[in-house]
Chain A
Amino acid sequence: GAVVSQHPSRVICKSGTSVKIECRSLDFQATTMFWYRQFPKQSLMLMATSNEGSKATYEQGVEKDKFLINHASLTLSTLTVTSAHPEDSSFYICSASRDRNLGTFGSGTRLTVV
């Protein structure tokens, strides 16, 4: 149990376009989902926490208008990188958890903006 699916696994987009990344909990209802970003050879940094049906809470320094997070259902959260630029190229990974339970990570999305 506790499987999280993240799509796409890799995406290349042109500078100025928007990219949507999906994170789905397949066999449980995720009350909380987290989005992390990892630059090459660096650690994972939390970007935002989203709870189903409410606005996401963004970490300091993360632009909420650039990284749009929607957690419309208990099984799906989406991260949209708007007007992507090369500096947004990174590995994005989500984690989904039930109430007071350990989060499960998705497989990650490698975004390359050219």
Chain B
Amino acid sequence: AQKVTQAQTEISVVEKEDVTLDCVYETRDTTYYLFWYKQPPSGELVFLIRRNSFDEQNEISGRYSWNFQKSTSSFNFTITASQVVDSAVYFCALSRMDSSYKLIFGSGTRLLVRP
């Protein structure tokens, strides 16, 4: 069975603080994909990153960075120097590495960045 756990329900930070959103996953597959999505108040899902299981290199994109640790089944997301526009719900997701791309989502972390 596949499962994604985002233990942090809600995080509140002051602008310019760094914040890390945790994601822990469970799967019996040896190959899989991990994702992060952002859902602003308007509701749409904004794709942030996809990582495949055999690539453990950390990735940085501007103020965003991701730390993939296969040994601990974690795929954490850090926002550096947070901004008010980063306020949203962030979802971590998992999918099998097949043609289905069926996503299993975590429960989401609501991030509030206060000015």
Contacts and interface: CB of A to CB of B under 8 A. Distances in A.
B44 A97 contact: no
Contacts, number: 53
B43 A44 contact: no
Interface in A12-64: 32, 34, 36, 41-46, 49
A105 B44 contact: yes
Residues of B contacting A: mostly: loop
Nearest to B108: A43
Chain A interface size range: 20 to 34
B107 A42 contact: yes
A102 B47 contact: yes
A105 B44 CA distance: 8
B100 A49 contact: yes
Contact of B43 (A34, A95, A107): A107
Interface of B: 37, 42-45, 47, 50, 91, 99-108, 110
9 contacts: A42-B108, A43-B91, A93-B45, A99-B99, A103-B101, A104-B47, A105-B37, A107-B44, A108-B43
Which 8 A-B pairs give the minimum distances between C-beta atoms? A105-B45, A107-B44, A108-B43, A43-B107, A44-B105, A43-B105, A100-B99, A103-B101
